[in-house]
């Protein structure tokens, strides 16, 4: 057993970028939603940089990209995409919570200086609903399990450790994906992005997990691929473990200062 598990009595996992590579399916749904709105496709490479803050922010970044693409191509007023009051002022470079860490630097699709641009609320709501509709048709069609994940989950369960899943993905998509890979029985608790009033990088979901199982935070481990996972874990008092292969807006996850890094989750067991 990996030394980072010493004295650990509960393990919480992120989903996207940690257990599964879901970007191919997310990108298909994003591009389908943009096409329904008559906007240019973003493509898988861009979507890979946008994932991690939940589906609403994903579509907000997609709309920002579409506006920039339209302006760059000299098309009609990009204000048809970006207009109205600010809907989500904590996007991109301003995505931080006091006491947790520095804000994210700008990501593709966000304004270059990190300032929040105004997005029409009705358009964002429509784009988000359209994305959810497309993604919900088959959220695991092109998604793959990362090597070592199944061995890790099975090994931890054999050792009697309760496992929790804490993701910013909408809750409705968790069960279909886990069931598609035959992993649903491994997790005693699953939290989605809307399960609680706050989501990662806020520590509330992890504190909820620890309280649910009656385990002290210092006896819990958070495993994830992004600075949000590490920030949430540290703020909740969890030990933190990172995998370097996931989604972290182009930044090495080691820069977030996790307590440990493994190339494959199989190293845990």
**Which residues are annotated as catalytic?**
14
Measuring CA to CA, which residue among 207, 168, 166 is closest to residue 189? 166
Q: Which two three-digit tokens encode residue 8?
A: 């650990």
Within 10 Å of residue 155's Cβ, how many Cβ atoms?
A: 16
| Bridge partners of residue 223, in order along the sequence | 13, 241
Distance separating alpha carbons of residues 216 and 238, to the nearest angstrom: 9
Burial of 9 (0-12, 13-18, 19+ CB in 10 A): middle
Distance separating alpha carbons of residues 161 and 101, to the nearest angstrom: 30
Alpha-carbon distances of 149 from 198, 260, 264, 267, rounded to whole Å: 27, 17, 8, 10
């Amino acid at each position: 057993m990996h030394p980072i598990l010493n004295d650990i009595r509960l393990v919480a996992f992120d989903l996207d970028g940690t257990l599964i590579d879901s970007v191919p399916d997310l990108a298909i749904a994003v591009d389908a939603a943009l096409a329904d709105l008559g906007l240019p496709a973003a493509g898988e490479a861009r979507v890979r940089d946008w994932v991690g803050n939940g589906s609403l922010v994903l579509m907000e970044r997609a709309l920002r990209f579409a506006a920039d693409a339209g302006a760059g191509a000299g098309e009609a007023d990009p204000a048809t995409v970006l207009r109205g009051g600010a809907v989500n002022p904590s996007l991109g470079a301003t995505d931080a919570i006091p006491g947790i860490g520095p804000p994210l630097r700008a990501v593709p699709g966000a304004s270059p200086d990190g300032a929040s641009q105004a997005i029409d609320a009705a358009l964002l709501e429509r784009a988000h609903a359209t994305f959810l509709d497309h993604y919900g048709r088959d959220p695991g069609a092109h998604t793959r399990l990362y090597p070592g994940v199944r061995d890790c989950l099975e090994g931890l369960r054999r050792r009697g450790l309760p496992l929790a899943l804490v993701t910013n993905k909408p809750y409705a998509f968790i069960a279909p994906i886990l069931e598609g890979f035959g992993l649903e029985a491994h997790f005693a608790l699953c939290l989605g992005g809307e399960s609680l009033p706050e989501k990662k990088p806020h520590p509330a979901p992890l504190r909820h997990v620890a309280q649910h199982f009656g385990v002290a935070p210092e006896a819990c481990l958070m495993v994830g691929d992004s600075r949000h996972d590490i920030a949430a874990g540290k703020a909740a008092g969890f030990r933190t473990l990172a995998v370097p292969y996931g989604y972290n807006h182009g930044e090495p996850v080691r820069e977030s200062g996790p307590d440990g890094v493994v190339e494959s989750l199989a190293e845990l067991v």
